[in-house]
Amino acid sequence: DVTAALERPDHVFWDLRSETEWTGVNPMGTKRGGHIPGAMHLEWRSILTSTGTFKPVPELRALLADAGVTADKMVTTYCHSGVRAAFGIFVLRLLGYQRVRVYDASWSEYGNVLAMPVARS
């Protein structure tokens, strides 16, 4: 449950969307733009090399740690519709993260529920 996860200190949301989606500049057709409060932002492209392959494991671990996405927490990935979020789960599982899940409805649901809190930065 997304609402319950917002209150858990052992939980982190990883937003894989673009910077303009994250800040709310581009709401991608939802009623509101922005991101889930407290979410960590690391765009999915930033975990790839210029040739489209994954960055080396030590670099991936450092990128995720710097973004606050650590293996000691439950990590929920999200994007706009779940596709990029699934990509994030794939990477986390390759790195050995155990407590991971995809918010499959992602921002296309969250951004349209007016009762949910939204952050913009």
79 catalytic residue (yes or no): yes
Number of C-beta neighbours around residue 72 at 10 A: 9
**68 Ramachandran zone, left/alpha/beta (phi>0; psi -120 to 50):** left
Give the C-alpha separation, 26 to 24, whole Å: 5
Q: Which of 79, 91, 92, 100 is catalytic?
A: 79
> Which residues make Cβ contacts (< 8 Å) with residue 108, sequence separation at least 6?
28, 29, 30, 80, 81
Catalytic residue list: 79
